Each structure stands twice: as C-alpha cells, then as structure tokens.
Amino acid sequence: KFQAEADRLRAKEKEVYGRDRPELERGLDGVKKALRTLKEYYASGDDAKHDADGGGAGGVIGMLEVVESDFSKQLAEIIAEEERAQREYDTLTKENQISKATKDADVKFKSKEATELGKAVSETQGDLSSVNAEYSAIMEYWSQIQKTCAAKAEPYEVRVKTREKEIEGLKQALDTLEGQTSLVQRRVTHRTLRGAGPRHMQISK
C-alpha cells in the first residue's frame, strides 16, 4: 500500500515535470533567439537608425537577459528537483523491495516451520495413540491376571489348616515308618538268636 502511494505520487511529479520542462525550454529558446536577433540588429552598420532606436534597445535587451536568466534558473531547478525526486523514489522502492522480500522469506520460513511443527504434532499424537493402545492392552492383561490369581488364591486360614494337615500327615507317616523299622529290627534279632543256639551247644560238648 505504501509503495502504491509512492508510485502514484512519482507518476504525478513526472507528469508535471514532463509538461513544465518543455515549456521552459521553449521559452528560453525564444528569449535567446530574440536576444540574438536584437544584438545582431544593433551590431549592423546602420548608425543613423541605431541612434534613433538606441534609447529603448538597451532596455529591451536588458529585460530579455533577465527573462533568459529566470528561465534558465527555473529549468535548472525543475531538472534538479526531478533528479532528486527520482533518486528518493528509487531508494524507497529498493527498500520496500528488500522489506517485502524479507517479509516473504520470513512468512515462507514460518509457514515451513508451522508445517513441520504440525507434522511433528501429528507424529507425536500417533505415537501417543500407539502408547495408549499398548498401555490399555497391558492393563487389560494385568486385570485378567489379577482375576485369575484372585480366583485361585485361598484365604490365609485355609492355607494354614491345609499346611497343618500336611504336617500332621507327615508325622503320622513318620511314626508309622519308625514303628515298621523297629518291628523289622526285632524280627531280625530274633531270627539271629534262633539260628545261633545249636552251634553254641555243640561247642559246649
């Protein structure tokens, strides 16, 4: 918007310059021609005629020289003003171009950054969904394990009584085993004594 306003103002200035400069140049050229003509006329050899017109000639030539000076000055001023305005316009346009290029690059970079950030967010959300799914599966498996363990686990009192019964059974088995071992030993001893009796008697004879 600012550049558009500068373009409009520069176009208007160039329009005025394009109109005024030719007019000043034509006026200056006309004054120069008039001065040249008068100077040539008064430089001719007709002294009688020159003496008759000489009183007003010097004033006319002097006036035309002042007009020539004014035209030259105005022409130089508008040329200098046009050159200055053009330089300022060129500088401003260049700065605006640089500023626009910088902003465009910044917008492009931010757009790219936003796109990459959006992609990263999407990937993160995908990873989070996957993790949540895995977590849900683990918790479901853990819940099933807890249900299984809860179904199989016996109360403490039941486990104690079961253990006591097992210990009592082991004691009874041990007592039974010890009784059988004692009985076997007695039988072996008795048999040994019965087998050794006659031999002792024979030795005595």
Overall average pLDDT of the 147-173 stretch = 71
The C-alpha atoms of residue 54 and residue 48 are separated, in whole angstroms, by: 10
**Is the CB of residue 10 less than 8 Å from the CB of residue 91?**
no
The C-alpha atoms of residue 89 and residue 96 are separated, in whole angstroms, by: 10
Q: Convert the pLDDT of each residue in 37-92 to its tens digit.
A: 988 887 775 554 555 455 556 788 889 999 999 999 999 999 999 999 999 999 99
- Record the tokens describing residue 139, joined without a space: 């918790």
Question: Would you tell me how many other CB atoms lie within 10 Å of the CB of residue 59?
Answer: 9
Q: Convert the pLDDT of each residue in 2-28 to its tens digit.
A: 888 889 999 999 999 999 999 999 999
34 closest CA partner among 2, 4, 66: 66
Alpha helices, H only, the chain: 2-42, 47-152, 156-204
The C-alpha atoms of residue 169 and residue 171 are separated, in whole angstroms, by: 5
What share of the chain has pLDDT > 90, as a percent?
29
Question: What's the predicted TM-score (pTM) here?
Answer: 0.47
